[in-house]
């Protein structure tokens, strides 16, 4: 009873945290996801029918993970194990986001709701949710609704267009997916030198798997896994995050 009152008091102080407020905050994300997933639909239509491509986006909400999975699908030597491992490591950051976000949720955000709504955690949704003082289940549901609809519907429209548009047009539109990843990585590289180092390692390893004969036999799936793991581990070892807390800062003064 005390926890419920405390949670209610929090939302009274920090403003409305209802479904409509979440939908309003999620609108810009949904519009952006529609554009990005349209490119994924175009790319996926080259190998799968539009209902299957749409189903991928309806059961996933991860651009990088879906793209990696699509790459493995196109490789004749790709296996389900490779796809599972690749998407696991690529999407592992969402687990860290969920742990961080769990410190800001209301008492009403029980285990069942966390398991269900955690499927809506993405980089952008996480950033918006973390900007709030406290997050309740109904607000988070509203926040993820339009991004989910935008991602799924954009994929469907892109996949349908991919089946009816000329190959020259679909190939041109498919390049937008690579542009999205460039737009995500480059701004971070400008302000964070360790990111530059990690990207350089990943690019070098990717080129090695592509052009070195001894490594070219490695399948696309395992090449993605190795590049991601090695780049992340090396960068983490050379550029560890400083563990700062209030006590340490106070002791240093």
Q: 115 lies in which domain range?
A: 2-185
d(C-alpha 91, C-alpha 181), whole Å: 15
Within a domain: 249: no
DSSP 240: P
Are both 60 and 157 inside the same structural domain?
yes
Average pLDDT over residues 143-167: 91
11 and 66 assigned to the same domain: yes
Establish if 48 belongs to a structural domain.
yes
Q: Which of the four pLDDT bands, split at 50, 70 and 90, describes residue 173?
A: low
Domain match, 171 and 92 both: yes
Whether residue 251 lies inside any domain: the answer is: no
Q: Are residues 112 and 148 in the same domain?
A: yes
The pTM of the full predicted model, rounded to 2 decimals, is 0.68
Instruction: Render the burial of 54-79: b for 16+ CB within 10 Å, e for the rest.
Output: bebbeebbbbbbbbbbbbbbeeeebe
Residues 117 and 210 in one domain: no
Mean pLDDT is lowest, of 66-80, 113-127, 145-159, for 66-80
Which pLDDT value is given to residue 251? 43
The confidence band for 16, taking pLDDT boundaries of 50, 70 and 90, is low
Residue 207 pLDDT greater than 60, yes or no: yes
Among residues 185, 202, 217, which one ends one of the domains? 185
pLDDT tens readout for residues 88-138: 888 888 888 888 888 888 888 888 888 888 889 988 898 888 888 889 999
**The pLDDT of residue 44:** 87
Say yes or no to pLDDT of 246 above 60: no
**Does residue 151 contact residue 14 with C-beta atoms inside 8 Å?**
no
Is residue 250 in a domain?
no
The tokens 């995500």 sit on which residue?
184
Pair 27, 134 in one domain: yes
Residues 173 and 139 in one domain: yes
Do residue 163 and residue 107 come from a single domain? yes
Domain match, 215 and 91 both: no
DSSP string, 103-168: TSB-TT--HHHHHHHGGG--HHHHHHHHTSS-B-HHHHHHHHHHHHHHHHHHHHHHHHHHHHS-HH
Average pLDDT, the chain: 80
Q: Are residues 107 and 209 in the same domain?
A: no
Q: Are 142 and 18 in contact (CB under 8 A)?
A: yes
* 13 located within any domain: yes
Mean pLDDT lowest for which of 34-43, 69-78, 174-183, 207-216?
A: 174-183
pLDDT of 253 reads: 42
Interval 73-98 mean pLDDT: 78
pLDDT at 149: 96
pLDDT band at 78, cuts 50/70/90?
low
């Amino acid at each position: 009873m005390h926890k419920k009152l405390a949670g209610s008091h929090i939302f009274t102080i920090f403003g409305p945290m209802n479904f409509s407020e979440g939908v309003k905050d999620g609108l810009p994300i949904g519009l952006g996801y529609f554009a990005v997933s349209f490119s994924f639909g175009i790319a996926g239509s080259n190998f799968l029918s539009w209902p299957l491509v749409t189903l991928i986006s309806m059961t996933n909400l991860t651009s990088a993970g879906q793209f990696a999975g699509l790459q493995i699908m196109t490789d004749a030597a790709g296996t389900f194990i490779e796809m599972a491992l690749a998407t696991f490591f690529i999407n592992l950051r969402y687990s860290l986001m969920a742990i961080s976000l769990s410190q800001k949720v209301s008492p009403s955000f029980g285990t069942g709701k966390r398991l269900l709504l955690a499927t809506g955690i993405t980089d952008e949704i996480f950033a918006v949710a973390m900007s709030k003082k406290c997050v309740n289940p109904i607000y988070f549901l509203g926040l993820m609704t339009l991004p989910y609809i935008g991602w799924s519907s954009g994929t469907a429209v892109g996949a349908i267009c991919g089946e009816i548009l000329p190959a020259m047009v679909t190939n041109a539109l498919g390049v937008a997916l690579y542009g999205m990843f460039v737009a995500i990585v480059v701004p971070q590289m400008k302000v964070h030198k360790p990111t530059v180092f990690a990207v350089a390692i990943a690019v070098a390893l990717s080129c090695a798997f592509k052009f070195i004969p001894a490594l070219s036999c490695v399948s696309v799936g395992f090449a993605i896994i190795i590049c991601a793991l090695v780049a992340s581990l090396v960068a983490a070892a050379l550029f560890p995050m400083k563990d700062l807390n209030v006590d340490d800062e106070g002791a240093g003064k």
